[in-house]
A and B are shown apart, each in its own frame.
Chain A
């Protein structure tokens, strides 16, 4: 019988610990597929964060590091500066990257560090029990914003891709989503582009992935994907915010599939 679908070689044969309906599994798979397809498994190094994906070093079968909360970009800097011919990626959540690790991510991007960041934005701290994240939407109910995120008290959600794209050191910054198959395919292309830009030595690369957290959002997996599409994408527009190297657009202006929020041209957001 012909095998038409199998586990990527870069992923270990072990069950994910993620909750049902969580999109970490999809993103892990996309990264692993890209590593396999590019034939770079042997020289790829993963840096795991603190958060739900803390154990991602157990799933990616390449050499790996487990970094302290928020510091993955600093750890990746140390690795890549010692081993410039390796492919290094960090995998970080929104609490890790956009709150406690803001200093590290901003300065890694500013220095143009040549590694790739896979940034999972699910608008919540999931592992610690559904607290407000820097990316939590206004009005969104979390365990620490039981009355909804209030602008006066908590300020507004942070748009990291837009913020990092303005830095001269960043070479590829894209925001994608994994709420439906078309977007999953697009997310994979973005990950590949980011790895290619890293390997071309053009600078800092990041793919922000809008992800769902059914458990802490209190929604079924399907409703969570719908909520992501209807609430997160309007605030966090999908698109490429910085492009270097291959400029084939990830998003087409004429498709309308992204609600007119696509951004191909860095000049548009610059």
Chain B
């Protein structure tokens, strides 16, 4: 193990290489540029391919082809580019193809700006594209966690034959933190993909990568099968981090960069001996509803903090199910919540929220 300093965007790239990903198809957009820069250099070193596509639409369909051929493959983009990929993501989910998609979220809507945001939460967790489907969404909060989650992202994609999205923002992408890395890249044993369409090569049966079910009965059966899979994911894959939630009267709920700010806020309260904790969802879909529901039995209030006008707060409310008040504090358009502002909001709830 070596400890080295790494940028978040580069960590995504190195994490992917170490997870056995050898194909990247993408189109330039800020603020994820360091990732394609890194992989354009790194992938050829390990016998892989970095290919710059003509658009995000083409990128995601190249991912479709490579995933269907059995490769570990990824793409990355930011807000507007991810919007362009939505049709392809729906096809990937429909055809049950594993892949990893990175969204380094920027301010929106429209062209917005290139500053950090979390306002693509709905797009990531509600499907984004057409039809009944889900993608697994991972939200790291540190450069080390990025490295660790990239491995899990590819494993989960293969396990469920489903797209996995890893989301971050410009802060996570550009900041440098020390990470622990094995000194050499160990060979990854990839799971066998007997379903991949690689040319029959003597196989008895043809393999087909397809999301078309023209007969409604068949399409419904396909949807029911997918729903069963999503049900298993929702049951088994909820991940979160508890930070001083034990005995917390007020629980902050935040992910990614916002969660880092909230940790500082929790520390401020805890130094004063006041019972405030943080629940940090690591999977956004499936949302850690189990943990939120359990905390609703012990905490008195929840405060969701997001870099958006309030999106994840809906999932918190669904999980709390009316048992406790759920408040929201957010900054939008590329602005980052400041610890003292969150501290003030939380303080108001602690002093006046008992009767709300």
Residues of A within 8 A of B (CB): 41-45, 47, 54, 57, 61-68, 71, 74-83, 86-87, 103-104, 106-107
Contact = CB atoms under 8 A, between A and B. Distances in A.
Nearest to A45: B199
Contact of A68 (B25, B54, B59, B91): B91
Contact of B208 (A63, A76, A82): A63
A86 B196 CA distance: 14
Given A57-B208, A75-B61, A78-B25, A43 B66 contact: no
Contacts of A83: 69, 198-199
Given A83-B199, A86-B199, A66 B208 contact: yes
Contacts of B54: 103-104, 106-107
Given A75-B61, A81-B66, A104-B58, A66 B49 contact: no
A140 B69 CA distance: 42
Q: Please classify how large the interface on chain B is, using the bins under 10, 10 to 19, 20 to 34, 35 or more.
A: 35 or more
Interface string B44-82: 000001010111011101111111111101000000000
B340 to A, nearest CB: 48
Interface stretch (B106-114, B162-170, B209-217): B209-217
A66 to B, nearest CB: 4
Given A68-B88, A68-B91, A79 B202 contact: no
A75 B206 contact: no
A77 B65 contact: yes
B198 to A, nearest CB: 6
B200 A78 contact: no
Contact of A82 (B66, B209, B210): B66
A79 B58 contact: no
A70 to B, nearest CB: 9
Contacts of A106: 54
The 6 residue pairs across chains A and B that have the minimum distance between CB atoms: A78-B65, A74-B61, A78-B66, A107-B54, A71-B61, A78-B62
Interface in B191-211: 197-202, 206-211
Contact of B62 (A57, A66, A75): A75
A61 B207 CA distance: 9
A161 B202 CA distance: 35
B68 to A, nearest CB: 6
A75 B207 CA distance: 16
Contact of B61 (A64, A67, A86): A67
Nearest to A83: B69
7 contacts: A45-B199, A64-B210, A66-B210, A68-B61, A74-B59, A78-B64, A78-B68
Given A68-B87, A78-B67, A63 B62 contact: no
Contacts of B88: 68, 71
B58 A57 contact: no
Contact of B200 (A42, A65, A66, A107): A42
A107 B209 CA distance: 23
Contact of A71 (B58, B69, B202): B58
Given A66-B212, A74-B61, A82 B70 contact: yes
Contacts of A107: 53-54, 58
Main DSSP-derived SS at the A contact region: helix
Nearest to B67: A78
B210 A63 contact: no
Contact of A79 (B51, B53, B66): B66
A65 B210 contact: yes
A77 B66 CA distance: 8
A65 B197 contact: yes
A43 B53 contact: no
Interface string B222-255: 0000000000000000000000000000000000
B23 interface: yes
A106 B53 CA distance: 12
Contacts of A41: 200
Contacts of B64: 65, 67-68, 71, 74-75, 78
Nearest to A54: B212
Nearest to B198: A83
Given A78-B64, A82-B69, A64 B53 contact: no
Given A42-B200, A57-B210, A63-B198, A82 B91 contact: no
Nearest to A86: B199
B64 to A, nearest CB: 5
Contact of B65 (A43, A57, A79, A103): A79
A94 B227 CA distance: 36
A76 B210 CA distance: 14
B342 to A, nearest CB: 43
B202 A42 contact: yes
